[in-house]
Homo-oligomer: A and B are copies of this chain.
């Protein structure tokens, strides 16, 4: 045990270090708890079917800035980011619970907006809002969502199933949400320094939507089922491609080689990043919040996916000894660094 007078800062561990440290001694009591801490969601078995359970905590001032985030969009996003974790298990979300901590600055009408966004997401993804908790908050807005999904045990995809020679795939395109966020931050600064200037956000719809109204890739999970492709491992991209690749690699005990030129980046993301003097590749690697699915498939499944416009093969799985690398556009090999969002 640590001495009482020891004081270790949380910053020195980081979010993932803290979770690993706190959860390393957890003992499971029930044989139907198939998966505890450490994947996109926990898994509990009931007969042939499994429930997957995932939860996310969103705090004002940390995860969202109400000066530019419309409450309705925030509600929508709060649901979607949890559903995304369920899809990342190759499962279908069915229920959500929502807890809100609300400070007195909010009116009923404001909370109705937030709730309308949540219910719109529930409607779109056919999920039941089944419960929650509502309380006063002395500080900012607190949103805690738990999502529960369903899958056959044999359909579940974990983070730890990637094997050497598998192909690394990603859905959609990356870096848009972060670029949209940077754009909103820039316009906020301009507005703060001169309130006469109106925000100039015209023509940036795609990246703003990526930030303010992301979608979860239900369609990809359905497509994979249709094509009879079961990924060998899967995770959703909430913290950035690099960070998620590290999770897949460490949990599967493999290495990964990524090709920079293959990383899918939308032209608007690319051009806006450049305009703001951001490196588009770095934006895709470390920006986060894209909520795309990152997964690995067996080479035998390549033919089924190769022509799909929504899925890009960005690399391959290697032996663990090889580590994580990116081959740059100029052909150089760089060690990849996980630069996920720092929580502390």
Q: A residues within 8 Å of B by Cβ?
A: 2, 4, 6-13, 15, 18-19, 21-23, 25-30, 32-33, 35-37, 41-42, 44, 46-47, 49, 51, 53-57, 59-63, 94-95, 97, 99-102, 104, 106-109, 111-112, 115, 119, 122-123, 126-140, 142, 144, 146, 148, 343-344
Contact = CB atoms under 8 A, between A and B. Distances in A.
A321 B100 CA distance: 35
Most buried by B among A22, A111, A344: A22
Counted per complex, copies of this chain come to 2
A9 B57 contact: no
B55 A133 contact: yes
Most buried by B among A2, A97, A107: A97
A54 B343 contact: no
Contacts of A35: 130
Contacts of A29: 122, 126-128
Contact of A10 (B41, B102, B127, B129): B102
Given A101-B57, A129-B26, A146-B55, A42 B95 contact: yes
Nearest to A119: B26
**Chain A at the B interface: SS class:** mixed
B136 A62 contact: yes
A325 B144 CA distance: 37
A34 to B, nearest CB: 10
8 contacts: A22-B115, A33-B94, A41-B131, A53-B131, A54-B131, A55-B133, A57-B135, A59-B101
Given A29-B128, A42-B95, A343 B142 contact: no
Given A59-B137, A59-B139, A97-B146, 12 more contacts: A7-B109, A10-B106, A10-B108, A27-B123, A30-B128, A33-B94, A33-B95, A33-B128, A46-B46, A55-B133, A62-B135, A134-B343
Contact of A6 (B25, B62, B109, B111): B109
A13 B111 CA distance: 12
A53 B8 contact: no
Contacts of A99: 55-57, 144
